[in-house]
Amino acid sequence: MDAWWLEAAVASPLILAAAGFAIPPLSLVIKSKSFWAAYASVVTGAVLTLIIGIAKHILLSGPVSYWFGGWPPPLGVVYVVDGLSAIFVSIIAAVIFLTVTYSAWYMKKFSAGPWYYTLFLLLEAGSLGCVMTGDLFNLFVMVEVLAVSAYGLVSYFRSSRRSVAASARYAFVGAAATTLYFIAVVFVYGSFGTVNMADVAVKARGLVNQSFKAFSGGVYGEVALASTVAIALSLWVFTFKSGLFPNHFWLPDANAEAPTPVSAAFASAVDAVGIYAVIRLLFTVFGSDSVLERVGARTVIFAVLFALGVGSALVGALLMNVQRDVKRVLAYSTISHVGIIYMAIAAAGLGTTAAAAALTASLYHILTNVVGEALLFLSFGVLIATAGSRDLGKLAGVGRTPSLIAAVGVLVGALTLFGIPPFMGFFSKLLVFISLLDSGLVFGAVMLLVSTAISLMGYVKLARAALSGGGEGSRLGPALPSAVIVVLIVLSLALGVLFPEVKAVLDHVSGAVVGSVNEYVNALSGVIG
């Protein structure tokens, strides 16, 4: 692949931001809403193509970095894309492309204006920036870009008091969260003299790397205390972003009141950003051989994450069973699966020999959550549009209307998230179960089975609402959303059938993440261009 392609891929957040900010002035001349729907689909499709290209390049040739403005790290902002970030940017780019394409149909009846697509492009720009950045302060900046666009999308139906209230609650707590993360960055900079992730990682491990020492010197003050405070504040913020109990309170209202394509993006792409940040901080920046491990703080942190993961899995499974609003059911389903993911992450941190396998399990279940939740949200979007209601009771019998593919999408999504073979959810839950046992977390393995059993009633309710009453008059459904749903159905099946191949790729990535930090640090010498 030519270097310019790699540059464009790593700089895709800037491309998306430029494309998004170009919409408002151009909309003064171009009034067609169909044009802006097509414009957003083309932009997100082009970015997805770039992302697929760089992900393939990285998995074959290793990590790459990009120095903004030509300033070498840690003086300037640097983006580093390794195997871990390649997986997450691929997830985000794919989900945003599918949801933006779906929006061209869904938002027609709501007269979606150009600002909707501006916010969606900025949502993707912020999400990709969070995953690609190798700079802790730039992570703060990109989290703000992501957050502000998310607040705007939640309140897009501004004539609805519930939408505005949900956005206000989300924004109020989200502003407090990003402020806490900024304070965490201050603690890191005050002790390490740098905000470059690789530089902090080197210093936190006490390694010798002259190219970094020449720029940022040594460390200052009580490094262990500052690191512990910084990571504690950061984890509060990113567990909030990923919707982990008890920081899940914003998610049901935000998902319920946002446009359905936005809800799908939140439940898959946006939640994944928070999970990525936790993995990056705990395994790359402050890994098993860092100062946090030497003072025993890292073990405590993973124990807390394990307890919160168990709580989230159980609370989400219980509460999804008592909801009548289908989008709130799906929101609590997301919360439950986020808990399962964090249980696997905790197993990677608390285990000794099974760390890489546990991280593979968490990554595989992230894929399951992304595909399953997106499939359910977008399938129910068609059924909700048909029935004119989000109430599960009123949705029952919609199978008689032109929405056969959407009904099948709900069934496949439910089977995927519950964990029935041959769909991918079975294999990801199996990996999580095994990793919990191998890490000595037998209680977690039991709670995984319990939460899965509890969630059964919720998924049965969803399937009944979509499938009951289906008859000979059922037609395939509207073409554009049906095509998106079919893509997700095929993905769920393919990622299950190709389990050995997918696991092999994830094993390779996980091994690099939990192993030596050298690959990530050395990526800074492999500058694009």
Instruction: Say how far apart CA 63 and CA 515 lie, in whole Å.
Output: 15
Helix (H, G, I), strand (E, B) or coil at 218: coil
Higher-pLDDT residue of 155, 215: 155
Across 330-354, average pLDDT: 88
Strand runs (DSSP E) across 414-488, as ranges?
none
Look at residue 529 in the predicted model and tell me its pLDDT: 43
Structure tokens at 272: 């994944």
> Per-residue pLDDT for 399 more than 70?
no
Instruction: Name the nearest CA neighbour of 451 among 435, 433, 472.
Output: 433
In angstroms and rounded to an integer, the radius of gyration of the C-alpha atoms of the chain is 22
Instruction: Say how far apart CA 282 and CA 292 lie, in whole Å.
Output: 9
Look at residue 352 in the predicted model and tell me its pLDDT: 61
Look at residue 467 in the predicted model and tell me its pLDDT: 77
Instruction: Say how far apart CA 139 and CA 214 lie, in whole Å.
Output: 24
Across 475-485, average pLDDT: 80
Residue with the two structure tokens 């709670």: 447
Helix (H, G, I), strand (E, B) or coil at 56: helix
Instruction: Say how far apart CA 144 and CA 267 lie, in whole Å.
Output: 18
Higher-pLDDT residue of 219, 214: 219
Instruction: Say how far apart CA 482 and CA 385 lie, in whole Å.
Output: 13
> Per-residue pLDDT for 40 more than 50?
yes
> Per-residue pLDDT for 37 more than 80?
yes
In 3-state terms the chain splits into helix, strand, coil percentages (rounded to 5) of 80, 5, 20
**How far is the CA of 65 from the CAs of 58, 77, 135, in angstroms?**
11, 10, 12
Domain boundaries, the chain: 157-525
Instruction: Return the amino acid letter for 278.
Output: V
Q: Which helix (H) or strand (E) holds 432?
A: helix 424-438
Instruction: Name the nearest CA neighbour of 271 among 251, 242, 296, 247.
Output: 242
Across 35-59, average pLDDT: 88
State pLDDT tens for residues 310-327: 999 999 999 998 888 888
Q: Is 7 exposed, middle or buried (0-12, 13-18, 19+ CB in 10 A)?
A: middle
Inter-residue contact 529 to 8 (CB < 8 Å): no
State pLDDT tens for residues 229-287: 999 999 998 998 888 988 887 778 888 888 888 888 888 778 889 999 999 999 888 88
State pLDDT tens for residues 103-156: 888 887 776 578 888 989 999 999 999 999 888 999 999 999 998 888 888 888
Per cent of the chain over pLDDT 90 is: 35
Instruction: Name the nearest CA neighbour of 292 among 194, 205, 186, 197.
Output: 205
Residue 134's contacts (CB-CB under 8 Å, 6 or more residues apart) are: 65, 73, 78, 79, 80, 196, 197, 198, 524
Look at residue 447 in the predicted model and tell me its pLDDT: 94
For helices 136-154 and 250-257, angle between their N-to-C axes, nearest 10 degrees: 50
Please give the biggest Cα pair distance in the chain: 74
Q: Is 511 exposed, middle or buried (0-12, 13-18, 19+ CB in 10 A)?
A: middle
Look at residue 286 in the predicted model and tell me its pLDDT: 87
**Residue 391 bridge partners (DSSP):** 325
